[in-house]
Amino acid sequence: MFVLQKDQIEKLLLALKESYALYGPTLHEVSGQVLFDEIADIKSLNINAAIPYNPPKYTVFPQFERILSYQYNKSTKEAKIAMDNLQKPKALVGIRPCDLTGILCLDRFFMGQEFVDEVFVEHRKKMFIVANTCVTPFPQCFCVCTDSGPSAQEGYDVNLTDIGDVYLFETGSPKGEEMAKKLGLAKASAEQEGMKKKVVDESISKFEPVAKENKAWISRVMNRITTGFIPNEVWEYIGNQCLECGACSFVCPTCSCFNIEDVNTLDGKTNRLRTWDSCSFEGYTKMAGEHNPRKPVEDRRNKRFFCKLSYSQSKKYLRPGCVGCGRCARVCPGDIGLPNVVTYIRREITRQV
Amino acid sequence: MSDKSAFKILTVPEVAVVDEIKDEIDEVKTFYLSFENKEIEKKFKIKSGQFIMCTIFGAGEFAVSLPPSPENDRFHISVRQVGKVTGALHQLKPGDKVGIRGPFGNGFPFEEIKGKNVIYVAGGIGLIPLRSSIVHVLQHRNEFGRIILLYGSRSSKDLMYRYNIDEWLKIDGFETYVTIDREEPGWSGEVGFVHNLIGKAKVPTENTVAFVCGPPVMFNAVIKELLSQGLSEDDIISTLERHMKCGIGKCQHCAIGRTLVCTDGPVYTYRQIKTLGEQI
Ligand code: SF4
Ligand code: SF4
């Protein structure tokens, strides 16, 4: 472990800027919200800002993206197809442990299954990640229930922890190691290293009671969802509150459903666009010819929570699909964010026993 | 799971030429295709029951099952015009080009069912995805037990692959029964629903697999009949169709219950289908 002086953050950012496009938390002046955004001016990066409104998911899986383009000449019958999503390397600075875990879920899903998603790899392969330990949880957070915080365990090049007057600078990869060398950082003393546990323990003690209470329940609810022992009325109750706006999927660091559409441009080219989609939309499973095998809204809700909290899906992520960021609870107009769903199912379980 | 080492076109479609177009039945045409790049043509190997993603330039991409046998058969697809993209495909002329990704999906069992009796039950255009396996099994006739095809459609005009069926009827040892829903002048074959042929054909139940494909009403009636004859749920095999975007297990559009049709399927046993928990 090394030590990074607080005024050295800028040095780190400048060093990263040499080879990467910077992304990190920044206060958006118009909306007053913290966004995870591209950082043009390093002064606008605010590493201490609250958890960003949007997860950094889009840096590896953009909301709209051209994955290829083609041109077909109808008279010569010549077809030219090009994959042209070449990406500049990105550095994510100040990413929260929950969001980093979200990216690791996406890694395992897009790159660790039967097929490797070549579009995702292009974004992901040249990244530099600087995680930031959450020394104070935010009101919505429940990463303690989903084993994804408040301190990052893996997946970072550098992990920062604010221990008061300095940052602990842990390296998680050769790239991180090199960075420590480049910045000429001093080694942390044993006492400073010991501070980390203290800071993390203190952070854990500050979580909202409901997050702490739900901790034991997540695994029981997962068990119920996996085995299907949840009465249909519960799903109906949950489904009835869903307005099918799709907001939950869009703010979720691990939701990754997408749509693909070929869009023609005026100059005779076609762009193949991949865009975020949500299983809550009614047309989601509709097939050509209008047959839709999945109809009622509770089916679709069921699907999202199944994705977040079932063992079969966890096998793809090597962990639960929810990373406890609480964003869906914040945006849902129907009050069925994931923590509430856990509570509903939990109530049902207690009623049954 | 499909064979991981097999060659697949994952992301960027390969260009293929429409060599020939054949009118099949109302709204269904067959398109014979070959890859522009001869290297790809050599490497591209399919299994019965797999599917490809086909790009119609300027219109989009759709998933389509593969009717040709993996061995010595011309590469083709047979497509009913149902939406925007398939509509655009139907406008194409010989010499036009399309894009192809794949082949994807697990495919029908072949080696695993050698030595068994094989029953095919198809309704309407449900014969399209079964054709590959039928032709393949016929190419290896001596390695299987009884081979039976029970095929039904609304009328004689709705029979897919008439030219193949005419050949099949002549093959010794290939028990082919064809039925249409109602009497028709000039029709001398069977009349009635296809599930009624199951008893008539005296289908075997021991050491037997049945491949079933067709519209939901027909499917359910056939399954019921096969089960009552004594076939087990594990020996009834079908292939599912879903809205698909990527073909490689990422977009999640084809999720049914806990499986993805594109990578876990599209071929499932009836026992699996029953536990998926959604409509077929
Ligand atoms: S945010 Fe709430 S209302 Fe909107 S789709 Fe998600 S669950 Fe439904
Ligand atoms: S399900 Fe909700 S709380 Fe869990 S990771 Fe997704 S947005 Fe965050």
Chain A environment of B124 (Cβ under 8 Å): none
Per-residue pLDDT for A290 more than 70? no
Best residue for ligand 2 mutational test, from A143, A251, A325 (most atoms within 8 Å of Cβ): A325
The model's confidence at residue B92, banded by pLDDT at 50, 70 and 90, is very high
**Residue A304's pLDDT is what?**
83
CB atoms closer than 10 angstroms to residue A212 = 14
**Residue A229's pLDDT is what?**
80
Chain A environment of B58 (Cβ under 8 Å): 72, 262, 264, 270
**Residue B65's pLDDT is what?**
96
User: Among residues A72, A280, A148, which one has the least CA distance to residue B13?
Assistant: A72
Per-residue pLDDT for B169 more than 70? yes
- Helix (H) or strand (E) holding A80, with range, is strand A78-82
Q: Is the dihedral of CA A169, A172, A177, A182 positive or negative?
A: negative
Residue A56 is given by DSSP the state G
User: Among residues B218, B215, B169, B164, which one has the least CA distance to residue B192?
Assistant: B218
pLDDT in tens, A107-153: 999 998 889 999 999 999 889 999 999 998 888 889 988 889 899 99
Give the nearest partner residue to B97 out of A79, A228, A312, using CB atoms. A79
pLDDT in tens, A330-348: 999 988 899 888 888 888 8
DSSP for A127-188, please give it: -EEEEE--SS--TT--HHHHT--SS--SS-SEEEEE-SSEEEEEE-SHHHHHHHHHHTPEEP
Q: Which of the residue ranges A227-241, A300-314, B115-129, B220-234 would you say has the lowest mean pLDDT?
A: A300-314
Q: Residues with Cβ < 8 Å from A144, sequence gap 6 or more?
A: A137, A150, A204, A207, A211, A212, A215, A324
Residue B40, chain A, CB below 8 Å: the answer is no
Question: Looking at residues A39-53, what average pLDDT do you find?
Answer: 93
For B144, phi and psi rounded to 5 degrees? -125, 165
Q: State how beta strands B255-256 and B259-260 pair.
A: antiparallel
Residue B252, chain A, CB below 8 Å: the answer is yes
The distance of A254 to chain B (nearest Cα, Å) reads 13
pLDDT in tens, B98-113: 999 999 999 999 999 9
Domains and CATH numbers, chain B: 10-104 (2.40.30.10), 111-239 (3.40.50.80)
**Residue A60's pLDDT is what?**
96
Question: Looking at residues B188-201, what average pLDDT do you find?
Answer: 92
Question: Looking at residues A58-83, what average pLDDT do you find?
Answer: 94
A256 or A215: which carries more pLDDT confidence? A256
Tell me the domain boundaries of chain A: 2-352
User: Among residues A229, A214, A223, which one has the least CA distance to residue A341?
Assistant: A214
Per-residue pLDDT for A296 more than 80? no
Whether the CB-CB separation of B24 and B68 falls below 8 Å is answered with no
- Helix (H) or strand (E) holding A221, with range, is helix A209-227
| B 49-68 near A (Cβ less than 8 A) | 55, 57-62
Q: How far is the CA of A333 from the centre of ligand 1 (A)?
A: 7
Give the nearest partner residue to A77 out of B85, B95, B245, using CB atoms. B95
**Residue A88's pLDDT is what?**
87
Question: Do residue B57 and residue A79 have CB atoms under 8 angstroms apart?
Answer: yes
pLDDT in tens, B198-249: 999 999 999 999 999 999 999 999 999 999 999 999 999 999 887 788 888 8
Best residue for ligand 2 mutational test, from A222, A249, A252, A336 (most atoms within 8 Å of Cβ): A252
Which atom in ligand 1 lies closest to the alpha carbon of residue A280?
5
Question: Looking at residues A231-238, what average pLDDT do you find?
Answer: 85
Best residue for ligand 1 mutational test, from A237, A252, A255, A280 (most atoms within 8 Å of Cβ): A280
Question: Do residue A109 and residue B250 have CB atoms under 8 angstroms apart?
Answer: yes
**Residue A84's pLDDT is what?**
77
Q: Global pTM?
A: 0.90
The distance of B182 to chain A (nearest Cα, Å) reads 25
Question: Is the Cβ atom of A325 under 6 angstroms away from ligand 2?
Answer: yes
Q: What is the gyration radius of the CA atoms in chain B, in angstroms? A: 18
Q: How far is the CA of A214 from the centre of ligand 2 (A)?
A: 14
Residue B245, chain A, CB below 8 Å: the answer is yes
Question: Is the Cβ atom of A333 under 6 angstroms away from ligand 1?
Answer: yes
Q: pLDDT averaged over chain A? A: 89
Chain B environment of A286 (Cβ under 8 Å): 243
Q: pLDDT averaged over chain B? A: 93
Nearest CA in chain B to A282: B253
Give the nearest partner residue to A260 out of B83, B99, B246, using CB atoms. B246
Residue B93, chain A, CB below 8 Å: the answer is no
Question: Looking at residues B74-89, what average pLDDT do you find?
Answer: 95
- Amino acid identity at B20: E
Per-residue pLDDT for B41 more than 90? yes
Whether the CB-CB separation of B68 and B134 falls below 8 Å is answered with no
Per-residue pLDDT for B122 more than 80? yes
Q: Which of the residue ranges A77-86, A267-276, B38-47, B141-150 would you say has the lowest mean pLDDT?
A: A77-86
Q: Residues with Cβ < 8 Å from A14, sequence gap 6 or more?
A: A42
Question: Is the Cβ atom of A248 under 6 angstroms away from ligand 1?
Answer: yes
Per-residue pLDDT for A211 more than 80? no
Give the burial string for B49-75 (b: 16+ CB within 10 Å, else e): bbbbbbbbbbbbbbbbbbbbbbeebeb
Q: What is the gyration radius of the CA atoms in chain A, in angstroms? A: 22
The ligand whose atoms approach the alpha carbon of A327 most closely is 2
- Helix (H) or strand (E) holding A111, with range, is helix A97-111
Q: How far is the CA of A24 from the centre of ligand 2 (A)?
A: 20
Nearest CA in chain B to A82: B12
Q: How far is the CA of A203 from the centre of ligand 2 (A)?
A: 20
Per-residue pLDDT for B1 more than 50? no
**Residue A352's pLDDT is what?**
63
